[in-house]
């Protein structure tokens, strides 16, 4: 038999809005993590469950919660390239400069995955270009390392310093 936490996590992961609404109306903990520390909101973001994400945000899910590795819902959206999910998370107050265990930010993840729309979205909303990961790399350094020419262009344009 599954626990209430497992049911809530599975409902979020699969996008079962009806089940989520029922569980939340009966007092389920909206921010309960699974074994990896992923909350229902993180799983909804990672699995591109748009309606589920909106329901969880409206119900007060912690938009900046992180899993055991320090990854947030916005990082999941940046990694996967889900611009629509990232827009909702940012409008709900997601920290643009949150860092996971290795110091990467959502911008760095978007750069490494070559998710140009996410890069533009994060830059337009004020993501910090100067932050470094645990190895001392900025988003610009990673753009060069991953040969992401579009990111190099966007980061240079937004830095205010031509040819950074």
Question: Mean pLDDT for the chain?
Answer: 94
- Condensed to tens digits (0 to 9), the pLDDT of residues 11-68 reads 999 999 999 999 999 888 999 999 899 999 999 999 999 999 999 999 999 999 999 9
Can you read off the two tokens belonging to residue 102?
């290795």
Residue 60 vs residues 21, 88, 132: alpha-carbon distances, Å: 13, 13, 31
pLDDT tops 70 at residue 162: no
d(CA 24, CA 10): 14
- Other CB atoms within 10 A of residue 157 CB: 11
The third-level CATH classification (topology) of the domain covering 70-164 is 1.25.40
pTM score, whole prediction = 0.93
What's the CATH number for 1-62? 1.25.40.20
Where are the chain's structural domains?
A: 1-62, 70-164
- pLDDT tier at 161, thresholds 50, 70, 90: low
d(CA 102, CA 105): 9
Instruction: Note the residue count of the chain.
Output: 164
Q: What is the pLDDT of residue 143?
A: 97
Task: Say if 1-62 and 70-164 have the same CATH topology.
Answer: yes
């Amino acid at each position: 038999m599954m626990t209430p936490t497992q049911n809530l996590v599975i409902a979020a992961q699969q996008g079962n809005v009806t089940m989520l609404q029922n569980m939340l109306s009966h007092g389920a903990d909206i921010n309960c993590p699974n074994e990896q520390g992923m909350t229902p909101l993180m799983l909804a973001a990672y699995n591109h469950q748009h309606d589920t994400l909106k329901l969880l945000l409206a119900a007060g899910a912690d938009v900046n919660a992180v899993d055991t590795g320090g990854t947030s819902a916005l990082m999941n959206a940046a990694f996967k390239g889900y611009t629509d999910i990232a827009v909702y998370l940012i409008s709900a107050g997601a920290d643009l400069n949150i860092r996971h265990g290795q110091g990467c930010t959502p911008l760095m993840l978007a750069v490494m995955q070559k998710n140009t729309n996410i890069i533009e979205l994060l830059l337009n909303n004020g993501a910090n270009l100067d932050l470094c990961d645990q190895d001392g790399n900025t988003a610009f350094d990673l753009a060069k390392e991953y040969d992401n020419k579009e990111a190099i262009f966007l980061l240079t344009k937004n830095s205010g310093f031509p040819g950074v």
